Amino acid sequence: MQMKKTIKMTMKDIDTGRKKVLDNARDLVQDAQILLAKRRYARAFFLAQIAVEELGKYIMLISCAMQVAYGNVDWQDFWKRFRHHKEKITNLVHSEYFFFSDEPPVEYINKILELAKTQEEVKLLALYADYDGKTFSKPIEEIDKTTAEQAVALAKRRVNWIKEYDKKIIGTDALYRLTKEKVEEFYKRIGITEFIER
């Protein structure tokens, strides 16, 4: 679907979007589980990766809501990132590191970028026949049962984590209660000043 890259969203649009991408991520994991049961490992793996990208879109939408509340949105940049596969993966993995890792951001940012690149490459192996310079392979030869099971299980855990976050933190009206002051307070609490100084 083509759309203008400068189109703006209201907080209501963002709130609707975060619910729909989260629902879609859950649905994709359920579809991946069906494929797994049918031993369609490559396609199950692929759908698990797409579910992860949808969760990355969820993170982008929450961040966008904070920017809307602050009155500081670069819509062209937002839509460019929203349609970029590696950006979506990077957003989710960055959030996981932020919440669950003891490493300082400087040390894990390069790991995140490398992981996003690798995930994108493997995702494509699960969908397309490819040539490695010596021989052609098809997805079923690249993705085995164990790899698919691990990917689907991880995607399911990630969906459950985001669902729990959404239920406890966002709820039914948290985005509508966002203000510039609350955004500044949040970023100061986590030690980031760049966002509020722009």
Q: Confidence class of residue 118 from pLDDT cuts 50, 70 and 90? A: low
HSE-CB of 4 using CA atoms within 13 angstroms: 4
Q: Confidence class of residue 27 from pLDDT cuts 50, 70 and 90? A: very high
* Per-residue model confidence (pLDDT) at position 121: 76
The residues spanned by each domain of the chain are: 11-197
C-alpha–C-alpha distance, residues 20 and 32, integer Å: 18
Question: Mean pLDDT of all residues in the chain?
Answer: 82
Four-way CATH pick for 11-197: 1.10.10.10, 3.90.730.10, 3.40.50.720, 1.20.120.330: 1.20.120.330
C-alpha–C-alpha distance, residues 188 and 180, integer Å: 12
Model confidence at 176: pLDDT above 50: yes
* Per-residue model confidence (pLDDT) at position 193: 62
**Helices and strands (DSSP H and E) totals, the chain:** 9, 2
* Per-residue model confidence (pLDDT) at position 198: 47
Q: What is 45-71 written as a DSSP string?
A: HHHHHHHHHHHHHHHHHHHHHHHHHHT
Q: Do you know the residue count of the chain?
A: 198
Q: Confidence class of residue 108 from pLDDT cuts 50, 70 and 90? A: low
Model confidence at 79: pLDDT above 50: yes
